[in-house]
Structures are given as structure tokens and as C-alpha cells.
């Protein structure tokens, strides 16, 4: 049985050290979560697989890691200062603040069983609430010395378009990829790590000649659906494509297709794939004289770059169109966890919780377990097997002797470890061990010398 409720996954994450509420000992900070010892491994594996597919396995992609703090004019010309808003309503009775378009996900503060507006409380008219966090830069606090925490990683790639183009001698089409933190002051963060105020994104800005954008958009949609299914292990029937209606498109988008995942909370966005046209490069290279600004202001505060591309075929400068696949790392982690979470009834009536993660995603690939922890020769052999596997440098192996073997198997099942290796008395005689498969619980006997190759092939 797969996860029926988000709580099952949340409980497992807390219990086994995947994800904890942020600042918990001080009562938490809404919309923040901390990744624990296993969570950080899972998240890093997801990001590594994404980078592998989208950067290393392509000949047309470059990676960057740009600053979270950017000149405030980036956000003016990107359109975020004016349009990165959600509709906010206040309840005059309970003083709660809610996202007007998500009232069905909110609870009245006085009557938690009711939605805002269903109670006696009166809601104000919606007003625009900008979701960018502001912070002060430098020691002087005045009206000008502020910056925003970036709400998307994308702008770091747009403002570096010329730097990457020139330094890598790229020709269109090519892309820039980045994984990094983004921040949004969400009005109603909720559903665990699904909607938070600090999260990570895996984004690509793929630059093309206008005219081929629509086909490239289709190609990315197909490629990314396949990646979530084949590499991350999401079931195809749990993924859907949502054509964002024109009235809901972001200010920069000509067309956006959202990849939706069937979380236990319902169908929700996992990744957005947008055709951003020439909006961003165009608006960062606007002819400043048209902005009606004085020369001094222009010099000091506005982009003087023209973010264009010289097309040797037409001998003209053009502003490339951009296709942008933008996925949430945390939403990817949550989807992988929901997909993998399984409860099985065993013959003895017990329930086995097992995370059937793709081996490549699993935080621990191999657990080496001694059948007897008070037999020094078994312990020594088990530790040396673990160290030999670790020394190969491409898989996390752990040694565990803190419980009886049956309990150790269950613990590893729960955190998704695909293979448990048990060292027993026979191992001392013939240099073989048992290898237990997480999903089938089947066991085979293998020579120690063959272990690395066996596991490697399967992860």
C-alpha cells in the first residue's frame, strides 16, 4: 500500500532523520524545514541526477552558481517588483491573513474546522502582497540600501547571459543550468515541504532563435516527464501535464505547461516549463533613454548591457527566446518519498514500512551488518567490507550493529537502503556473505570479491 496521507511521510521523515521542522526547539519558524542526515543525502542524490542528465549528458548546456543577493534593479526590470504578488485577504474577526485564491486550503484561526469566510468572520477585499523578502545590504540602513532574496534562480542566469556566451564561445541554441536556493514570503506555507518560504530550484534557461521556441518547448516537456519517470521513479500515472490558461500565465510567459504530481494532498505542481520568450533578456537590455531616466541614474543604476546574440547567418543582433524548465527540489524530494513509501502486511501479521526508492536516490546504498556483534572476527570482517565499498568513492555504505539482525533489516527498509549485507560464521570460512534485497526480501550468497560489482550494477 502506498502513502495514503502526507502524515505518514511526515512522520517517517521526522522519525528517521530525513526532514525536521525548522528552528523546532524555539517553536519553529513557519515555512522552513531542515534536512537531516538522511534527507541531505536524498536531496543531494536528486540534484546530482538532475545535473547529470541536464548538464553532463548534453553538449549544449553550461552550469552556473550565482548570487542569491542581486542588484535591486534586476527585480525591477524582471517585473517581479510589480507583479510577483499573491492576493491577500484579512479576516476582520480572527485577524488571520490568507491567500485569497487558496482559501480552501486555509483554516479559520478561531474555528479550525471551517475555512475562512465560512465562519462569522468578514474578509477584506483581496489586495496584492509582494512575496519577495527584503534585506538590508551594508551597515547603513536607508531607503536605498536594500536587496531582495531572490525568488527564482532564473535571473542569475539571465544577467550572466553574455558572460557565459562569450566565455564559452557558445552558439544558439544553448542553455544555462543552475540549482540553488530561492525565497518567497508565501502567505500560507503548508503541506510540509510542498510550499515553504525557503526552497531550492533546479532551473534551466535554454536560449534559442525565435521561431524554434515552440518545438524546443515540446522537447523539454517530453524529456523532463521521462526523467521524472525513468530516473526518479515516479509512476507515469501519477504525473500529468497542465496547460496553464492564458489568464493565469506569469507576466513573462507565452505558454507554460506544469508537470503535476499526484501527492497524497492531490494533484499539485512539481515543475513548470515555460516559454519566457525574449521578455527577460529584452527587459534587462532596454534602451534606457526610453525609460525617461536621467543620465546619472542610468549610469549608476541600470543595466548598460545589451543581452543580445549576433547571428552570423543573418548578420544581425537578435534577442534569443528562452525555454525554462523550473523544478522544485523539495517538491521532487516529496514526490520521490510519497511514491516510494509502502506499507506491506507480512505473513506474521506485522506491517513492514519500506521506502522503495530508486537505488540511485537512496541515501544509503549498502548496510553491512554483523550477525553477531560479540564475535570480533565477524565484526572486523564486516567493518573491512564496509570500508572497501566506501573506498570505491561512489556509494554510501554504513556499518550497523546496534540491534538484532531482523530489526536492522527493518530499519534499513524504512530508509530505503536497497542492499543489506550480512556477515556470518560461514563468511569467515569461505569469504562469502548474504545480500538481502530490500524490495523482495530475497537473499543470495555472494563472494565478498563480487560485492562491489553486484551493487554497482544495480545502483
Residues of the shown chain interacting with ligand GAP in the complex, contacts defined by CB under 6 A = 152, 154, 184, 186, 195-196, 199, 201, 203, 269-272, 324, 326-328, 330-331
What span, in angstroms and rounded, lies between the C-alpha atoms of 177 and 60? 10
Smallest gap from residue 9 Cβ to ligand GAP (A): 15
For ligand GAP, the closer CB: 34 or 437: 34
Report the largest interatomic distance among the alpha carbons of the chain, rounded to a whole angstrom: 86
Smallest gap from residue 114 Cβ to ligand GAP (A): 25
For ligand GAP, the closer CB: 54 or 422: 54
Query: 3-class SS at 412?
Result: helix
* Region at 77 (left for phi over 0; alpha for psi -120 to 50; beta for the rest): alpha
For ligand GAP, the closer CB: 195 or 386: 195
For ligand GAP, the closer CB: 41 or 203: 203
Q: How deeply is 131 buried, as exposed, middle or buried, from its count of CB atoms within 10 A (0-12, 13-18, 19+)?
A: middle
Smallest gap from residue 297 Cβ to ligand GAP (A): 28
What span, in angstroms and rounded, lies between the C-alpha atoms of 445 and 437? 12
Smallest gap from residue 186 Cβ to ligand GAP (A): 5
Backbone angles phi, psi at 182, to 5 degrees: -135, 160
Smallest gap from residue 355 Cβ to ligand GAP (A): 21
For ligand GAP, the closer CB: 188 or 434: 188
For ligand GAP, the closer CB: 83 or 168: 83
H helices of 186-239, in order, are 213-230
> Looking at the DSSP assignment, which residues form a beta bridge with residue 257?
243, 273
Q: Is the dihedral of CA 126, 132, 135, 141 positive or negative?
A: negative
Place of cell 523578502: 133
Smallest gap from residue 342 Cβ to ligand GAP (A): 24
Smallest gap from residue 72 Cβ to ligand GAP (A): 18
The residue of the chain with the least Cβ separation from ligand GAP equals 328
- Produce one character per residue of 233-257: b if its CB has 16 or more CB atoms within 10 Å, e if not: bbeeebbeeeebeeeeebebbbbbb
For ligand GAP, the closer CB: 187 or 389: 187
What span, in angstroms and rounded, lies between the C-alpha atoms of 384 and 373? 14
Grid cell at residue 146: 536594500
The per-residue DSSP string of 397-434 comes to: EEE--SS-HHHHHHHHHHHT-SEEEEE-HHHHHHSEEE
Place of cell 474555528: 111
Q: What is the dihedral of CA 201, 204, 210, 214, to 10 degrees?
A: -80
Smallest gap from residue 30 Cβ to ligand GAP (A): 12
For ligand GAP, the closer CB: 155 or 417: 155
Amino acid at each position: 500500500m502506498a502513502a495514503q496521507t502526507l502524515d505518514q511521510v511526515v512522520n517517517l521523515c521526522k522519525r528517521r532523520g530525513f526532514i525536521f521542522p525548522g528552528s523546532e526547539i524555539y517553536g519553529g519558524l513557519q515555512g522552513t524545514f531542515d534536512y537531516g542526515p538522511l534527507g541531505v543525502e536524498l536531496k543531494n542524490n536528486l540534484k546530482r541526477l538532475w545535473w547529470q542528465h541536464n548538464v553532463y549528458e548534453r553538449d549544449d548546456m553550461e552550469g552556473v552558481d550565482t548570487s542569491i543577493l542581486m542588484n535591486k534593479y534586476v527585480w525591477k526590470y524582471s517585473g517581479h517588483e510589480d507583479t510577483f504578488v499573491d492576493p491577500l485577504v484579512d479576516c476582520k474577526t480572527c485577524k488571520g491573513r490568507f491567500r485569497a485564491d487558496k482559501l480552501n486550503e486555509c483554516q479559520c484561526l478561531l474555528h479550525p474546522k471551517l475555512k475562512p469566510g465560512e465562519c462569522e468572520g468578514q474578509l477584506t477585499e483581496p489586495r496584492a502582497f509582494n512575496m519577495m523578502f527584503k534585506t538590508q545590504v551594508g551597515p547603513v540602513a536607508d531607503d536605498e540600501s536594500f536587496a531582495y532574496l531572490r525568488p527564482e534562480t532564473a535571473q542569475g542566469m539571465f544577467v550572466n547571459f553574455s558572460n557565459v556566451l562569450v566565455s564559452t564561445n557558445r552558439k544558439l541554441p544553448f542553455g544555462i543550468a543552475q540549482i540553488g536556493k530561492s525565497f518567497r514570503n508565501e502567505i500560507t506555507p503548508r503541506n510540509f515541504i510542498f510550499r515553504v518560504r525557503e526552497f531550492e530550484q533546479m532551473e534551466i534557461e535554454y536560449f534559442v532563435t525565435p521561431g524554434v521556441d515552440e518545438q524546443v518547448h515540446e522537447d523539454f516537456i517530453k524529456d523532463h516527464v521521462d526523467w521524472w519517470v525513468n530516473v526518479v521513479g515516479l509512476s507515469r500515472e501519477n504525473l500529468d501535464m497542465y496547460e496553464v490558461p492564458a489568464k493565469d500565465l506569469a507576466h513573462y510567459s507565452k505558454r507554460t505547461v506544469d508537470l503535476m504530481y499526484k501527492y497524497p494532498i492531490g494533484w499539485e505542481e512539481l515543475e513548470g516549463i515555460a516559454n519566457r520568450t525574449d521578455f527577460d533578456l529584452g527587459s534587462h537590455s532596454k534602451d534606457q533613454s526610453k525609460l525617461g531616466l536621467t543620465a546619472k541614474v542610468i549610469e549608476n543604476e541600470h543595466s548598460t548591457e545589451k543581452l543580445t546574440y549576433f547571428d552570423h547567418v543573418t548578420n544581425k543582433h537578435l534577442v534569443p527566446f528562452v525555454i525554462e524548465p523550473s523544478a522544485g527540489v523539495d517538491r521532487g524530494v516529496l514526490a520521490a518519498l510519497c511514491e516510494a513509501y509502502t506499507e506491506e502486511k507480512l505473513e506474521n501479521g506485522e506491517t513492514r514500512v519500506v521506502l522503495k526508492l530508486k537505488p540511485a536516490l537512496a541515501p544509503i546504498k549498502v548496510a553491512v551488518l554483523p550477525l553477531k556483534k560479540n564475535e570480533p572476527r565477524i565484526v572486523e570482517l564486516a567493518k573491512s567490507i564496509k570500508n572497501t565499498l566506501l573506498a570505491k568513492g561512489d556509494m554510501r555504505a554504513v556499518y550497523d550493529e546496534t540491534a538484532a539482525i531482523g530489526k536492522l533489516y527493518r530499519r534499513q527498509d524504512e530508509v530505503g537502503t536497497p542492499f543489506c549485507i550480512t556477515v556470518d560464521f560461514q563468511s569467515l570460512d569461505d569469504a562469502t556473505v548474504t545480500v538481502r534485497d530490500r524490495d523482495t526480501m530475497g537473499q543470495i550468497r555472494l563472494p565478498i570479491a563480487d560485492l562491489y560489482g553486484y551493487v554497482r550494477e544495480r545502483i
